[in-house]
Amino acid sequence: MKVSLASALGTCFGVQDAINLAMGPEFHSDLTIIGQLVHNPQVNESLKNNGVDLIQGIEDISKIKTKKVMITAHGAADKTKQKLIDAGLIVYDASCPLVMRVHKTIKSLVDKEYFPVVIGQKDHVEVKGIVGDLDDFLVINGESDLEKIRERGKRKLGIVSQTTQQVDKVESLVKKIREMDCVDDVAFVNTICQPTRDRQIAVWELAEQVDLMIVIGGFNSSNTKKLVQVCDEKNIEAHHIESSTQLQHSWFKGKEHVGITAGTSTPENVINEVHQEILKIAKDMKLKSEPVVS
């Protein structure tokens, strides 16, 4: 059984910079992170072990016991940051520059009198941050939401996407919006980030060569789920795992070529552990299928 890694996988620079900042010696256990710094259980566990407090979101502001707080790579609305400052906290901002680009883009579209539309998951922390300073907006996540555009009756739309959306899906939705008779003018800025695109292209290419894909990343990680969707579209069996302990030997039975990919918040050591475990499974299976010569 051959095992191949996708040509682009794992932690992106935005997540890595945020982790490095949170692990910095200046905090000495005086840091609370607002929300998950990354959607990865192992990273969050090691932060907790380093004495860092984690709270779910700004709603839990009363639970903060430290003087210093950190905004995650997913970003936050200016209103949220101000609320933290007003509470007397020192705010460290680990927002990824590519998320901040989306904030700036949507604000500039609103300045040009476009009605803001975000393609993404309305409950995702990144999307909440993108729309958090807007007076009015619409978040759509699929064709079933297109009717909402008609209902809002806005004829001039400024569209951006969550950074971790699937490229094909976003392009197809925008095409359909452009064709709607209730819309006159569509300004679309594709704000899917380059690391997300690279990982989607790499898994697409690898899916053409393998008969099984192992996708590593947090179960709540948006971009990891998109990698699984790409495999589904290519009709390739894919299993989403968070760690090597979740691998099941039965998945590999009869498989000739296994691919490995990982979302943008999956650390290198987790990918290495999974890779090594799969190589071990491949070796075990080979030993079992070879006749014992006495």
Q: Are 178 and 186 in contact (CB under 8 A)?
A: yes
Handedness of CA 237, 170, 268, 66 (dihedral sign): negative
Interacting residue with ligand SF4 among 96, 106, 228, 270 (CB under 6 A)? 96
Cα(66)–Cα(26) distance, integer angstroms = 13
> Which three-class secondary structure state does DSSP give residue 173?
helix
- Least distance to ligand SF4, CB of residue 197, Å: 9
- Residue with Cβ nearer ligand SF4 (128 or 154): 128
Cα(92)–Cα(140) distance, integer angstroms = 31
Can residue 163 be called a binding residue for ligand SF4 (CB under 6 A)? Answer: yes
Size of the site for ligand SF4 (CB under 6 A): 15
- Residue with Cβ nearer ligand SF4 (14 or 120): 14
> Which three-class secondary structure state does DSSP give residue 12?
coil
Q: Where are the alpha helices (DSSP H) in the chain?
A: 13-22, 41-49, 78-86, 97-111, 125-131, 146-152, 167-178, 194-207, 222-233, 268-289
Can residue 164 be called a binding residue for ligand SF4 (CB under 6 A)? Answer: yes
Residues of this chain, 103-162, that bind ligand SF4 according to CB under 6 A: none
Residue of minimal Cβ distance to ligand SF4: 14
- Residue with Cβ nearer ligand SF4 (126 or 242): 126
**For this structure, is 205 an active site residue?**
no
Can residue 14 be called a binding residue for ligand SF4 (CB under 6 A)? Answer: yes
Can residue 193 be called a binding residue for ligand SF4 (CB under 6 A)? Answer: yes
Can residue 12 be called a binding residue for ligand SF4 (CB under 6 A)? Answer: yes
Q: Which residues pair with 225 in a beta bridge?
A: none
Residues of this chain, 23-82, that bind ligand SF4 according to CB under 6 A: 73
Cα(91)–Cα(69) distance, integer angstroms = 5
Stretch that binds ligand SF4, among 50-58, 96-104, 145-153, 277-285 (CB under 6 A): 96-104
- Residue with Cβ nearer ligand SF4 (220 or 248): 220
Name the CA radius of gyration of the chain, rounded.
Answer: 22
With tokens 């899917």, the residue in question is 192
- Residue with Cβ nearer ligand SF4 (163 or 244): 163
For the chain, the first-to-last Cα distance in angstroms comes to 25
Instruction: Determine which one of 26, 59, 126, 143 is catalytic.
Output: 126
Residues forming contacts to ligand SF4 in the complex (CB under 6 A) are 12-15, 73, 96, 98-99, 163-164, 193, 195-196, 223, 264
Catalytic center residues: 126
